[in-house]
Structure formats: structure tokens, C-alpha cells
A = this chain, B = another copy of it.
Amino acid sequence: MIVVMRSGVDRDEVRAVVARLEALGFAAHLSEGKERTVIGAIGDRSVLEAASLEAMPGVERLVPIRQPFKLASREFQKESTVVNVGGVPVGGDRLVVIAGPCAVESREQVMATAAAVKAAGAHMLRGGAFKPRSSPYTFQGMEEEGLRILADARQRYGMPIVTEVMSPDAVELVAEYADCLQIGTRNMQNFQLLREAGRSRRPVLLKRGMAATIQEWLMAAEYVLSEGNRQVILCERGIRTFETATRFTLDLNAVPVAKELSHLPVIVDPSHGTGRAALVTPLARAAIAAGADGVILEVHPNPAEALSDGPQSVTPAEFERMMQDLRRVGEAVGRGLQSPAPAPVRVRVEAD
């Protein structure tokens, strides 16, 4: 941390800051320029942030030198993490495609979608049983019944399942059925939920908050990691900007930045990141070209009848064409798609 003192600061104020730093266990290096005095403070950043040093007289601002996350950082772990989701590696040499409906609406809908995406080569099945909806009056999900349907689809089609968990007390239930716990954009800073997911043995797919900086996103991952769960997949899903032509602005800059700062795998959700089916294929291709480890997509057998997010869902036929595109783009950047998902790897884990 570097402490920048105000111009014209007086000597006693500088001394007080140095004394405070030393009391906190920091080594303080003073640099007095003609115009400004700055103090380098080597030590634990979080201690300093807690210390409200910026409120001391004469202090203009603190400039952090290191990232505030540790376990999530490449400085901490050089080699990339490969997360194993029910037998499917995420973050390794080959790309992963996760597909399925936005919401679980019925057994028929899930089975039809699962059959279609499996046939087209998807590696995992997604689908929401608990749905965060901005209106209390819209469909809120099938809840446990939805989880059961997903688990049955896993067994029938041999694909691990990813599904959202929205509250700390539901983690155990969802973890019982799902291979991977999704934490949604609105919950990225639901810290109790992050901690609870960190105590689960299931991998966690952590969506970026729609107004979260990359640093805050990695701090959210740190919450999960610091509880002992090292299986975190980052997912860029679009940020909120002034542009209204699309629902969100997919931030593909975030892909190489997150991979540089962190060893965790990074996937992209072009369905939410654009909000329109016609944009999903080009942005999915772009995500792979930008270096993402995979994509997660909404596919619905009949988008016009979907109970949520129909406008951004692609049809099975579009998905099939997209898979061919993704395979070609992946190969162009040196990373093929994985082979189709293996046979069912796990049934409901009673004794877990």
C-alpha cells in the first residue's frame, strides 16, 4: 500500500501516519519529494483497509499495490486450475459447452432439450429450478421437483448438471442433486451464500455481478475458496452499461484479464450477455476466440413458449449449427471441443 499525503502536509501529520503504520505492524518507507510526500507500507493490505487510514489528517489517498485476493490469484498459484464437474474437466486443454433451458418448466421440456443438446455434443446440462425474477408475480421455478427432473435427465443422458442456488439454506439441497452449484449475478455479493457454497463439496460456477468489477468478482471467488472449496469456475455474463440495444454488454475484455489475474477457469454466457437469440452465436464464437474455457447457453425446444428468457434462447437446430462453429473457432485458437460427455457418472448421492 502506498499512502499519498496531501500537498503541504505538515511534519506531524506524516509522523502520525508512520507511527500508526508501525503500530499496525507495517514497515513504512518515507519518500519526501519537493511537492509531495508518499509513504510505502509493506504488509497485509486488508489490515490497512480496515484501519481507515484515509481518514487520518494529511492523508490524501491510499494506493493499493497488490490485488486484494490471494487464493484466487495467479501469484498464489501459477498453474491453471482444472475443475472437475461430474467427470467433465473445465479449464483444461479442451473447451466445454453447457446448454439447456433457462428454467426447468416440465419433465418433457427438460428431456427434449437434454436429448437435443446431448445429440449436438454438449458436455453439461443447465437449467434453473430456483429462479431469481425481478417481479414477484412471474414464474419462480419448480424448486425441488425441478431438481429431481434435472437429476433424471442427467441419468438418462449422461451429462452432469449445473443449476442455480439462491440462498444459503438451499445449498445442501441443491448440492444433493446438482454436479455444480451456480451462483447468479444478483447473488455475487451474497456473502453468506458464497461461504455456504464454499463449505459444499460441489464445484461452484460463479457468475460475475452485473455491476461488479473484475476485482470484486475475484474477491467473491475468494470467499468460496477461503472456505476450502477450490473448485470455482468464473462466468462472465454481461455488465450493465448505458447501451440499451442489448440487455447487457458482454465484457470479453474480462476473459483474458481474469485469466491473467487468476488461475481459475473462465467461461462466458452469451445468452444473458446479449439478451437476444440472434446475437448468441456470434458472441459465443467471440468468447472462444477471446480465450474462454467454454460457454454456457440457453437452448429451448420452443423459445416462444418459454416461461422465462425465451427471447434469448436458441432452438436445438440453431444450437447444432453453433456447435460446429464453436468447434472450428476452438481449433483456430488451438483448443478443440471436448468429446461428448461420457456415460452417466453419478446418480443422486444419498450418503454424501
The A interface, classified by DSSP as helix, strand, loop or mixed, is mixed
Closest to A56 in B: B304
Cβ-defined contact, B166 with A169, below 8 A: no
- Known A-B contacts A31-B29, A42-B35, A167-B192; A333 and B285 likewise in contact (beta carbons under 8 Å): yes
Q: Tell me the residues in window 203-261 of chain A with beta carbons closer than 8 Å to chain B beta carbons.
A: 209-211, 213-216, 219-220, 222-223, 226, 239-246, 249-257, 260
Q: Which of A154-205 contact B (CB under 8 A)?
A: 166-169, 186-187, 189-193, 195
Known: A29-B31, A214-B245, A239-B241. A189 touches B256 (CB 8 A): no
Instruction: Report A's interface with B, CB cutoff 8 A.
Output: 2, 4, 7, 20, 27, 29, 31, 33-36, 38, 40, 42, 46, 49-57, 63, 65-66, 68-70, 75, 132-140, 166-169, 186-187, 189-193, 195, 209-211, 213-216, 219-220, 222-223, 226, 239-246, 249-257, 260, 273-274, 277-279, 282-283, 285-291, 303-311, 313, 325, 328-329, 331-333
Given contacts A51-B310, A136-B195, 13 further A-B contacts (CB under 8 A): A33-B42, A55-B306, A136-B191, A166-B190, A167-B168, A168-B168, A211-B240, A243-B254, A245-B254, A250-B251, A256-B278, A286-B290, A332-B332
